Amino acid sequence: MCAPDKVAAQENGNDQDNNKHPQESLRSRKSRTTAHEDGIQSTTQKEVAVSQETKHSKPPQEQELTHAIRLCVASLGFLMMAATLTMPYMQAKRDELQCDSGCQGSMTSARSFLNLVGAALVGRVSDWPGMRRPCLWLGVAAAGVSLVWTHQAQTVSDLWMSLGPSLFQQNIHVLKALLSDYHSYYQPTTTTKEAASSASSSTSTTARAASAGMLGMSMGLAMMIGPLVGSSVLTSYEQTTYFSMALLLVSALLIFLLPEVEQNNNKSNDKKMVSKSFWSFMDVPSARTPAALFVLANRLLSAFSYHMFLVVWPGSLRSRFQFGPQDYGLYFSFVGLFLALSQGVMSKWVLQYLGGNTSHGRVQWLVACSVVTALARFWAFYTSSLALVYVLMACFVTAMGVSSTIWAADTAQIAAPHEVGSFFGILAAVESGAGMAGPLVAGALASSSS
């Protein structure tokens, strides 16, 4: 057979084989196509899963910031719980030692004066490198000494002596400065003009306000739970004192677990603080800026009006609604609940979804909160309905909590990084000064009107 005939025969044979197994060839091609498509689909699913995990997982720095904030909030919560557990028994102790209303008013003014001095002093010292945590431990130790001293008091003079450690109980202000350090370290903000007008600035403010709100929420929960546990679960002053000391130990342990971050301190300023006089040591340039002076003036007036109202408010409740110890306990627990909700929940909604993420929006909310605070207190003072009193006080406490959270977030960005603790101390000192003068003015006005 010649070569062309062989080639033709081979082609005929191949055609016969293909015609013989057409279905097998088609199935093999389909299986290869299906396997290829399955491979592409599985790869796509893996990529989607990885992207979803990346989307929902927090960056390492954000996780560390969240962990630090939780430790700060828990430490303050246990500290405040230890302080509020003994509240039901402290009033009985004062009555037992015949410390009347005049004595208690004098002690309140003395405590405000000690807070005035201690807030500025401890705040300034906490700005030294590495001194945040020692100042926090000092506050916990001072709280323990005050608890034991009050429990062991046998005379009114002992009660006066127990006020001394309150000079160093400034943990709330030191923790605010520490949270500012954490936000600056874990969420550094750029200083370019583009970034100043971008959403990063509002995001930073919202995050700072949220952390400050968590501190306020822990205080509100402690104010709500502490007196109830101390009066219903624990049966004696001695038991509450021991349990309070245990809570203070937990608070100190949580302070030990707080992460160490580098403070943005100016070394030249540190040398000046050591070498110059006491008044130079207490000098805080950030407190003389226009923005700082505005904040200080606002907080002074707000605290002054609050303390004036606080003098006449308990007597008004007692005369109109015959409030007793249980009624006051329920009332203060109610206030603590709404204080916690306002700073831990409501302030977040305001800052994230209700226009509080912009400077103009925060100003509008501050004005609205001031109006609600004034009207709610005025109406609550003259109404004859106890239910309406609770509704109005819920509005009052909520407005006060939201405004306090916004002020705390903006205040942390007014001061220089190496003066944050000092500025918070000065702010607390101003509010303590209002706590000294407000009751005196309110008492004089009440006496003249009667």
Q: Tell me the average pLDDT across 350-373.
A: 79
SS3 state at 356: coil
| Each residue's pLDDT tens digit, 8-17 | 445 455 555 4
Q: What is the predicted pLDDT for the residue at 298?
A: 86
Distance CA 436, CA 116 (A): 9
Residue 395 confidence (pLDDT) above 80: yes
Residue 39 confidence (pLDDT) above 80: no
Proportion of the chain above pLDDT 70, given as a percent: 70
Q: Tell me the average pLDDT across 67-93.
A: 84
Place of tokens 């007597």: 315
SS3 state at 57: coil
Proportion of the chain above pLDDT 90, given as a percent: 10
Cα-Cα-Cα-Cα torsion 75, 302, 360, 289, nearest 10 degrees, comes to -80
Mean pLDDT of the chain: 74
| Each residue's pLDDT tens digit, 329-343 | 678 778 878 887 887
What is the 8-class DSSP label of residue 58?
Answer: P
SS3 state at 100: coil
Residue 140 confidence (pLDDT) above 90: yes
Distance CA 113, CA 119 (A): 10
Per-residue confidence band for 268, with pLDDT thresholds at 50, 70 and 90: very low
Residue 344 confidence (pLDDT) above 90: no
Q: What is the predicted pLDDT for the residue at 392?
A: 93
| Each residue's pLDDT tens digit, 149-182 | 888 888 888 888 888 888 898 888 888 888 888 8
Distance CA 152, CA 154 (A): 6
For the chain, domain boundaries: 60-260+285-449
Class of domain 60-260+285-449: mainly alpha
What's this model's pTM, rounded to 2 decimal places?
0.64
Q: What is the 3-state secondary structure (H, E, C) of 9-68?
A: HHHHHHHHHHHHCHHHHHHHHHHHHHHHHHHHHHHHHHHHHHHHHHHHCCCHHHHHHHHH
Residue 277 confidence (pLDDT) above 80: no
Residue 269 confidence (pLDDT) above 50: no
Distance CA 28, CA 17 (A): 15
Sign (positive/negative) of CA torsion 348, 350, 354, 356?
A: negative
Distance CA 256, CA 251 (A): 9
Beta-carbon contacts of 45 under 8 Å, excluding residues fewer than 6 positions away, are none
Q: What letters, b where the CB count within 10 A reaches 16 and e where it falls short, cover 203-240?
A: ebbbbbbbbbbbbbbbbbbbbbbbbbbbbeebeebeeb
Cα-Cα-Cα-Cα torsion 217, 219, 222, 224, nearest 10 degrees, comes to -70
What is the C-alpha R_g of the chain?
32
Q: Are 176 and 408 in contact (CB under 8 A)?
A: yes
The winner for highest mean pLDDT among 22-26, 193-197, 284-288, 366-370 is 366-370
